[in-house]
Amino acid sequence: MWYTKEKEGDDVHSKNSEITIEVVGDGVTRRILSYSDKIMVVELNFKSGAAGTMHEHYHEQVIYVVSGKIAYREEGKPDTIMTAGDSYYIAPNLVHGALALEDSKILDIFTPAREDFLKK
């Protein structure tokens, strides 16, 4: 479902029990939470040792660590260790990834929304 607000003030409610869990890698699952064409919130769960492969995209992104510990990786830079409550802004077109140092849950916030996540 691709949602575009009909008018200012419209709300979208994502009911947790109805959100599909997708396996997106070895030890990595993704749940697309609320979104519009302008913003998207995604929950990722990593088993310890699981990796988010190095990649890039034109979207701006903020990572927020809900629980656990990850090594955020950005091409050409040393790893940044992140724990619960930490966040990190990722500019468009930066090659980046992550490695879970323990079981972890993160929220990724994208603008605009990741339309590639919605294509099946």
Distances (CA, A) of 20 to 14, 15, 26, 60: 11, 11, 17, 24
Identify the residue with better confidence: 44 or 1. 44
* Tens digit of each residue's pLDDT (9 = 90 or more) over 48-82: 999 999 999 999 999 999 999 999 999 999 999 99
Instruction: Give the residues across from 91 on adjacent strands.
Output: none
* Tens digit of each residue's pLDDT (9 = 90 or more) over 14-36: 788 888 899 999 999 999 998 88
pTM: 0.87
Residue type, 6: E
Predicted local confidence at residue 92, as pLDDT: 98
Between CA 59 and CA 57 the distance in angstroms is 6
Percent of the chain with pLDDT over 70: 88
Name the superfamily (CATH) of residues 28-107.
Jelly Rolls (2.60.120.10)
Residue type, 7: K
Predicted local confidence at residue 18, as pLDDT: 84
